[in-house]
Each structure stands twice: as structure tokens, then as C-alpha cells.
Amino acid sequence: MSIFVTEEWKEMAEFMPEEYQQVFNKVKKATDVMVDAEPEVAPTPKEVIWTKNKAKLYRYISDKPVEHKVPILMIYALINKPYILDLTKGGSFVEYLVNRGFDVYLIDWGTPGYEDKNMKLDDYILDYIPRAVKKVLRTSGADEVSLFGYCMGGTMTGIFASLHPELPIRNIVFMTSPFDFENTGLYGEMLDEKHFDVDKVADTLGLVPPEMIDFGNKLVKPMSNFYGPYVSLVDRAENSSFVKSWKLLQKWLNDGIPFPGEAYRQWIRDFYQKNKLIKGELVIRGQKVDLSNIKANVLNLSGQNDIIAQPHQVEALMDVISSKDKQYIDLPVGHTSITFGSKATKITYPTVGDWLEERSN
């Protein structure tokens, strides 16, 4: 019995018209789903091969031999947990790449504490990512590495690659990673410096809570984001496949992590308010970021339905990098469905896998 459906309600339902009973049963099943135990996530076997502060570098383990000599380092955003890339067996980007014979690594930034409130993007980009890359090269015995950046993690990857043209980076896959923040829709309106004081937010909170970021994201399409998932659950509660995916995705969406205040201040001011990166004005620890320093092979993916990193924000990278082998593809997906769900497994996974396979031997 659901905690939301009492015995009294159950008895009353027996006297309802049939169509009302059907609705009642759907609501009951949906509420049962919401109070079920959380699903297991991150099923692909892995080991920790390096740590720094809260961050861990994972290497994924497989019984299959590595078939491609260039390893892949996956880099995700600071504000969500990276297991979206390894959500469930049969629906895991990591699992797919491992099964195709790639040597796969991933940086898990961990959950920052209040003592990390002064962490800047500079620290992650110049202290963490370079050491992770060097550890991947040493562990794999490879001469070159492929980088895979998703969302904000891709933006950070682009900055890192720009500042380290001397490192042996053969391939970079950017996935829904924004580079041009000139026209960001409602995000730009909400974060406009005329009425959004990022200094007051960062100085007051120290760590920006995940609930605040999640609320801001949902405000872009409030009806769809606040109520849509639950309407869909009531409508499809009898579909076990849908329910499994719904529970997995809701677990991840509600499992956010705080944003260190100084990094948040930079992300909002330098990117959303000043659009410094694409203009060539961004400075990271005294070094100006020049995206034209990127010469690696590049696959740049956007989602046609993505409202967080809109296609034009993603595609802008193509005009500034120096790569001779570069490809931009706008896939028929959204910001999350590019990496989880039926479209991801049928479209995104093979698109990335095929592209990397041709350039990893």
C-alpha cells in the first residue's frame, strides 16, 4: 500500500466509476514508485588510481583486452555527479566504450565541503586535469590520450587543452559543451548583472547549494520540469521499462553537489555575464585562453532539443579551433538524453565510438 493511498481511499475507490478507478490505480502505482528504494547506479567495475583532495580518478576494469592504444579520459561538470555516464547496465556510455575495447578513465570531482569554497576554475583546470592526464598516460603506457568532455566539463576541457598545447592530446570529444554565452535565452535574463549580484551570492553562501542551481535550471521550462516528470510517471506507471529509467534519472537529477563559491563566481561572471571565453578575453591564473591553440582531432556534439547548452553555443567552437580534423554534429536529443536513454544508445554511443575508433590506433 502506498503511503499516499490510505485504506479509506482504497475503499472509496471501489465505488468510483470505472474510469476514475483507472486514474486512481495509476496514481497509486506512481506513488509506490516514488517511495521505492533508490536504484543502484554506476555498475561498471572500476578502481581508483589517483586522488587529490575530494577528487578521484577511476580506471574502468574489463575482462576484455584493450583494443585501442589511445586511452579515453572523461571529464564531467563540477555541479552534478558523473555517474550519468555510467547510470545502469545496458544504458551506460562508459560500459559501451569499455565493451568496444577502449581503456576508459573518468575524473570524479567529489563533493566539496565548506573548506573548498575558495576553489576556482583555475585550480581544477591547471592542478587537477593535467595531473589526471599524466596519470592516465603512465597507467596505460600510451603516448597519447583522448579527452571526452560533457557539458561544463567539456568547456573546462577546451580551456585546459588551450593552455596545454604541448601535451599529447590526439582526440577531443565535446558533448553539449557551451563556448559562446552571448545568447543563452532565459539563463541570460536570469543571470544578467543588472539584477543578479553574483558577488553577493558567492560571498554569502560560500558553497552554492545544488537545490539553487537545480531550481534555476527548472525555471527555464517550469511546467515541463517541475510537473512533467510526475505527470509522465502517472501516465506510464505500468510500463516497467519506463519506470526503471524514470527512477534512475530522478535519482541522478536529485543527487546534485554544491558549487564552490569562487568557481561559481567565475562561471557566472566570466562566461554568462561577460562571455570572455569565445572573445579570447578569459584569463586563467594569469594565462590568456586562446582556443585556437587546440589542434587535436575534434568531434563536437550538440543536442537539437538542448536548452542548457543550445546548439549555437556549442557550434561556435568550430570557428576558433585550429584542428584540421574537426566535425560538428547536432543530434536529435536533449542535454540529458544525449547520454542516457534509447536515443543515446542508438545514436550517441555509436557516433562517438566509431569516430574514436578510427582515430585511436
Q: Give the residue numbers annotated as catalytic, written as ranges.
A: 151, 306, 335
Identify the sign of the CA torsion 78, 81, 85, 86: positive
> Under DSSP, is residue 164 helix (H, G, I), strand (E, B) or coil?
coil
**What are φ and ψ of residue 106, in 5° steps?**
-145, 135
Spatial distance between the Cα atoms of 88 and 10, rounded to a whole number of angstroms: 35
Query: DSSP letters of 244-266?
Result: HHHHHHHHHHT----EEHHHHHH
Spatial distance between the Cα atoms of 316 and 12, rounded to a whole number of angstroms: 59
307: its cell numbers: 536548452
**What are φ and ψ of residue 10, in 5° steps?**
-65, -40
- Residue 273 class from Cβ within 10 Å (0-12 exposed, 13-18 middle, 19+ buried)? middle
31: its cell numbers: 506513488
154: its cell numbers: 567539456
> Under DSSP, is residue 221 helix (H, G, I), strand (E, B) or coil?
coil
Please state, in angstroms and as integers, the Cα–Cα distance from residue 207 to each residue in 20, 122, 172, following that order: 47, 17, 31
Q: How far from chain centre, in Å, is Cα 88?
A: 15
**Distance between first and last Cα of the chain:** 56
How many residues does the structure list for the chain?
A: 361
Residue 147 CB contacts under 8 Å (≥ 6 apart), including other chains: 72, 73, 75, 133, 157, 160, 161, 169, 171, 172, 173, 296
Question: Rounded to the nearest 10 degrees, how much is the dihedral formed by the CA atoms of 153, 159, 165, 167?
Answer: -30
